[in-house]
Each structure stands twice: as C-alpha cells, then as structure tokens.
Structure 1
C-alpha cells in the first residue's frame, strides 16, 4: 500500500464473515480503520450516513474528505441521504442533553439502523463503524447501538473490534497528518457545535470557523 509505514497485525471478520459494510463518520476516524482492513485483505464498502452533522457546509466538508480517501484506495463509497429533518425530529426534547448521553444513543441508533438496513438489502453479513476509534466516544455505547441494529436481521453481526488498541489511535493521528485531512472541532450536531462554542467563548477563544483547520498545518 502507498505510504504504508506501520507494522500491522492481520485481523479477520468475526464468525467467518464474508463482507463488511463500514459506517464512516469522517475521514480522520475512518483512515486508520480503512488502512487496517486493506492490509488484512478484508472486502469492505464505506457507508456514509450522518444526518446529524450540522450545518450543511460542515457535512459536505467531512463527506468530501472521506470520498477523497476512499477513491485513493479504490474503496466503494455509498453516499446515503442527508435526512437532517428526521434527525432533528428524533432529537426533540434532547436538545440540552450532554455529550455521550441519550441524544448520542439516539443518534447512533438512527445511523446504525440505516446501515444495517442497507447491509441486509445488499448482501453484507457484517457491519461496523469508525466511530469507536475516537477517544471522545464511549465504546460500550457505540457497540450496544451497533449490536441492537444488527440484531434486527438474521445472520448479521456488528463487529465490536477495538480500533484504538495496539497503536490505532496514534496511527489515526499520523494518517490524518499525512493526508492533511480536514480537522473538525466538534462532534457534529448543532447542539455539540453550540456547546463547544459556548465552552470556547467562556475560555477566551473564538468560535469555531468551519473549513479552517487541517491536520498537518504548521500551526498544528
């Protein structure tokens, strides 16, 4: 693989799975996961379904970075609907919930249910997500949502592989710098943007400027 600089242990799909549909939240999180799968000769397709991301400019930035990396490695990329109105409907009453709370559970459920639905209709027997590699996420929460979504379909499994282990988190950062990925500065939804900006302003920092920072820039 081009620019491959890491020693990797071969991994395999659980229970002799044949075909993986990988839900991707963004290129920085997905980069290490994708390279690990490629190095292990695992057949997979990227499924980009993230109607939580707000505003549309941020959504497009994250999606296009992911498409760029997938195309570089000739990985199929499924661009799912941006049904943001439905996401906001589901989030009603949860606007002031904290990160990692019930609003995030709803968000993971929504995205994984759609992932599992697509997988079942297109011959995938394993689903997983790059969300779990982020240290800002609670892995048990993500895995519970993924397993719940997969359980709706016979012979489908959610792969709970810990992408952070054995240097995965460090490689995630190195790949992001190497590829100069766009650096998102909040989780993604309107409420995380609101709360992050509130925190920044309380600590004397400017509000987030969309599309400004990229991994590998000199200031990083």
Structure 2
C-alpha cells in the first residue's frame, strides 16, 4: 500500500498575544496493494514507428529466407504485411542462373565496375533473387508518408504469381493499388523501389501509369 500526504493544513484561531492555537489536518490517498500505476499511452507517431520497425524486421526475415530457398527451388509467392505471413511455391526445378550482386568478386567484367550500390542484385540473376531484394528494400517506403503534395502510400504486401513479375500492393488515400515490378527482362537492377514508389504517389499524377483494361494496376517502370 502506498500513502501520499497531500498537504498539512494549520488552522489558526485567536489566542494569547504572540501565540497561535491550531491543529494540523492530513489528507491521504492510497492504492490497493499490487495495483499498477497508470502509464501514459504512446502517441500515434510512436505507435506507427513501432509498427514500422516490426514490419521492417518481418520483411528482412522474409527476404533472407527467399535468398536461401531460391537456389533449392522454393520461390517466394506472396507477402501479407497485416498478418505478417508469406508463402512460397515449389518450382520443381531451380533456376540454374547464379545470383550475382554488385561488389561481388564473381561479378562478370561488364558488371564489376558498374556504378551500383554494393549488394544490389545485378542483371542476369534469377528472378527469385530480384524479388528477394525487392522485399528487402520495401521498408524504405515508410519514409515517404509525408512526401510531396499527395503523400506516400501504405505498404500492404507483395504478390508474385509468376517468375516474370511481382506486384507491390499499397493503399493510398483509401484506394488500393498494385505497382508492377518486372523480374525478368529488366534493363536495370532493382535499387530503391521503396523510394520510387513513394515518389510515384507523393508527387501525384500516378494515374497516367494505369495499365489499359485495369482499374488498379500501375506500371511506371520500377
């Protein structure tokens, strides 16, 4: 039990000259034994930051598993951010192409001096490697919520039904969108997809990249 003296009050009344007669009154409050003290609730920004950290850790783990499983013929199929789940498919036959990253001593001469950040998956690598790298880079999208006049989107997941391409699933201003990312036949490595998607929505005008015949698929060459 905890006692808290609030205040001692001196009540004076007339007495002899130079003296005062009075009494002291104490007021107490207490909490039952074992009752927790109330703690301030975290604000919305702190809660969002904590959630972003959790999602970033989840995506990093998914990417690591995808890099390990790809050479064995298990390729990433989907990622759902809300439920923190992912799925893989068994291809039956692993892609024979080797994974090559920028800065890797085994990189072929044309790529060896390429001006790419170390660790970027280079062209010619199997599609599962490009997909794994894409997932690992997506947490950067969180930094673009306040970007531009429109603000960046919220990440919902990734859908990769084929080796050819994957769709990054996002929500922006109450609407859901799919952002197409080619995995095969690319002309440049996947470097900063989170930044590119954040800028795409934040700057506005992204509707011009709507794929004909669809209502939610954007192909901006990411």
Q: TM-score, normalised by structure 2?
A: 0.23
Bigger proportion of residues as strand: 2
* Higher RCO (C-alpha under 8 Å, 6+ residues apart): 1
Larger Rg: 2
